[in-house]
A and B are shown apart, each in its own frame.
Chain A
Amino acid sequence: MALLETKSLTKSFGALTAVDGVSLAVEAGALHSIIGPNGAGKTTLFNLLTGTFAPSSGDILLDGRRITGTPAHRVAHLGIARSFQRTNVFPALSLLDNVWIAAFARSPSWSGLLWRHTERDPELVSTARRALADVGLAGKADQPARTISHGEQRQLELAIALAAAPRVLLLDEPAAGLSPEETRRMVALVRSLKGRYTIVLIEHKMDIIMSVSDRISVMHFGRLIAEGTPAEIQRDPEVRRAYLGGVAA
């Protein structure tokens, strides 16, 4: 059963149609990757799914229910979390605070916000610590985010998304800027999340895509040009012409 679905989803910015009639079905518990040339509309698709942009036309369904037009802050409460292509953490806050904010924002009750300023719900703190541990940053929990390296900030990005306890994880190039060793760690982490979460992944590193994906959709000029298993996509001549054929990163 498709947990997340789009029906002819379209987004135009003036004369530019960034996402053009995209119909996608992501099965619950699956890892579905979106690949395609730069400027193909992948991140814009994510922005539509998270409610950051309203679509020009088409629909988004979560669990069979229409969520099209739901604003971003409500989409987060529906259980869709994302990480960003450009690292989007709070540089002056500690890693723990960065992650705790996400856990707190998703907690059902905001009562006590005023009188609990010096102490915190231990359950939320442990959710935050667990998310940091999941990405291997537990040891740096109290450091300000700006003091950790770029690669570690990418990992923090992912921890923030995890702390929001989503059902659907949209990961936008989580391995960007990571060393081979850190990439291996990130891949292992993403693999460990499979099944527990429904994951939609944008990446350019083909070895990652091919090894973790259940299904791959290929975007080009805003449209879906191919969809299938990793083996099918690798063989597809149009995909090879438009996108592949480089040095595997």
Chain B
Amino acid sequence: MTDLAHIRNFSIVAHIDHGKSTLADRLIQETGTVKERDMQAQLLDSMDIERERGITIKANTVRIDYTADNGETYVLNLIDTPGHVDFAYEVSRSMRAVEGSLLVVDSSQGVEAQTLANVYHAMEADHEIVPVLNKIDLPASDCDRVAEQIEDVIGIDASGAIQVSAKTGQGIHETLEAIVHELPAPTGTRDAPLKAMLVDSWYDSYLGVIVLVRIMDGVLKKGERIKMLSNGSVHHVDRIGVFRPEMQVIDELGPGEIGFLTASIKQVRDTRVGDTITHEKKGTTDALPGFKPAQPVVFCGLFPVDSAEFEDLRDAIEKLALNDASFSYEMETSAALGFGFRCGFLGLLHLEVIRDRIEREYDIELITTAPSVVYHIYMRDGTMTELHNPADMPDLTHVDHLEEPRIKATILVPDEYLGDVLKLCQDRRGLQMDLTYAGSRAMAVYDLPLNEVVFDFYDRLKSVTKGYASFDYQMTGYREDNLVKMSVLVNDEPVDALSMMVHRDRAEARGRAMVEKLKDLIPRHMFKIPIQAAIGGKVIARETLSAMRKDVTAKCYGGDATRKRKLLDKQKKGKKKMRQFGKVDIPQEAFISALKMDS
């Protein structure tokens, strides 16, 4: 066990691509924690999806032994936090587990929206913050300008910012020294009852659930019985250790230390991020502040393309849910899509990650229905229910009013694209809250309905700003608005998977765009097909797909019988990829493409 004075716990706050993972790799390498031959790029991002997308989804940690210039050896614990808004709660817990942060900013780019959101988490946790200007090897690097921007936008002193090139290794030593001398040591009492924060947890097929903990007070030892304060569940600790970054078993963890425990826990669901862990007997009753159970924000339906794969999908979803307490699911039946699951996610990235993992790791092709936010429906009798699926919208005669979730969105953008960004926010029913400039970049803060953001806001933002805008948001609460359910009827039958909640003022435009898209996406049939968008019984947009006129083989003789039969078999398989609705076959891509709006 290390005495408190020789422990430093820190995280790294950075925007995607600003070099967080490379810097972490360098720190690990410089201190000899990982031998040269074992180095692989981005040690801490272990999932394929994390490496590919350059994002961190699970909190990772590494314990580094560093002998400083003063001759003393320190234990440095780095927690690599998720960087995305979907995981804001997880980020806030990780921040509470450490005392300081390195604020890493790309000196050729400057501060981005995501940096802001995370640095605020660090400030809320009372962190000492050390600014690091990275990528100084790049020709476009401009340390003075970026330091000034950090002072303007974030409001911290950046005069002593360390200039680093994680690529060449320049400034790495200075960074390690700054961690030792500028960040505070943790506090805690060894003799007090055990109080540890559950920082994160994940499933390992050999060890069961691995729990990442930060000890606040007391000592945790192997063989002890521990209790989760949120639900009182008791577990027997069978292993304690630290990450270097591979697992290393040790005897005990004392105050200020960060490590892991295993206790034959079967499901990640039983371990809640932010929970307080103590001893079963003589433990503390005083929970750490800020704990809250995961709350899904975005919902969508996941259906197997091949309905025969439903059981495989169930299996995949159950397995993923074991390792992800924030992911919820329940079975859903859709007239159009058959059996599937209504799933809840922390946000759009979370949704995409889960969907990608099902398709990739379990090899199941999916149909994803329109993402929907959670609406609050206030009934005439005074009760409130949550609406997760537009198809479940109750009869309007019983509804008093609806509320929808709003967000505070922060967008940083070079000023030449500002006009387009403001128009986009306006079109999405945004209310401007703030507009400021830092150098040639503008920062727009908008109050926006979440449902206008979940479809394709980020794609549109990237396209109107040629990728130069950065965007982040946080949930702010619910507000009443004039929301209606728009249904889509194909050949006079409602297609539940295409219904959506829209603002009344936007309904006509949405409906028109939707029926026009569907007209192109649905193949011609032997009869003409009306495609309508409707609110209640009122049709607000209509297109007609005319009947197929010609589909016949001109020449068909003796040699063609076999060929035609094989072609028919192929077409039968193709038809399986369509969803039959009444007498109309709708190709699966229609369900996704129809929801992407071009404006």
A and B are interacting partners: no
